[in-house]
């Protein structure tokens, strides 16, 4: 049984982006064309003996470590599966924060896939996308 895994979360550049009207959930429909680029954040996830989720990073920004899209995604996943997923997540940031390269979204998606695999949750990619 695996106790940890690592993955790379790729950056992307928008080649085209059109923001349409706001939906009832508060988000906007978009049309987008993008290109993945050779720039990645590294996400490592290690199981722990408790039900807490902790986040570490090479970024020393307290707001990044306390409240971000990675933790939001983890908590939504825990809620969806109805159990605590005790783990320590380490993020090595190489994608500049706030640069519009999709680092946060990519980190959240990569974390969900990593947790799904590590905890053998067997959730479909469609279900993970809905989170």
Which residues face 44 on adjacent strands? 6, 90
**pLDDT, tens digit, 9 for 90 and up, residues 67-94:** 789 999 999 999 999 988 999 999 999 9
Domains of the chain: residue spans and CATH: 4-10+38-130 (3.30.230.10)
Region 101-119 average pLDDT: 95
Two tokens at 41? 């954040």
Tell me the pLDDT band of 60, cut-offs 50, 70 and 90. Answer: confident
Going by DSSP bridges, is the β-strand pair 28-47/4-22 parallel, antiparallel, or unpaired?
A: antiparallel
Grouping H, G, I as helix, E, B as strand and the rest as coil, residue 111 is helix
In this structure, how many other beta carbons lie within 10 angstroms of the beta carbon of residue 99? 11
Grouping H, G, I as helix, E, B as strand and the rest as coil, residue 87 is strand
Q: What is the pTM of this model?
A: 0.87
**pLDDT, tens digit, 9 for 90 and up, residues 24-48:** 999 899 999 999 999 999 999 999 9
Closest CA to 94 of 29, 11, 22: 11
Give the list of residues 6+ apart from residue 112 with CB closer than 8 angstroms, or none. 73, 74, 77, 128, 131
């Amino acid at each position: 049984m695996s106790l940890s895994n690592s993955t790379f979360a790729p950056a992307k550049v928008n080649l085209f982006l059109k923001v349409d009207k706001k939906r009832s959930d508060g988000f906007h429909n978009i049309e987008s064309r993008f290109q993945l680029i050779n720039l990645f954040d590294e996400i490592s996830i290690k199981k722990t003996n408790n039900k807490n989720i902790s986040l570490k990073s090479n970024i020393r920004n307290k707001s990044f470590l306390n409240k971000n899209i990675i933790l939001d995604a983890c908590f939504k996943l825990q809620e969806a599966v109805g159990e605590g997923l005790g783990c320590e997540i380490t993020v090595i940031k190489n994608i500049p924060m706030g640069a519009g390269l999709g680092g946060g979204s990519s980190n959240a998606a990569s974390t969900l896939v990593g947790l799904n695999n590590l905890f053998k949750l067997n959730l479909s990619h469609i279900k993970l996308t809905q989170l």
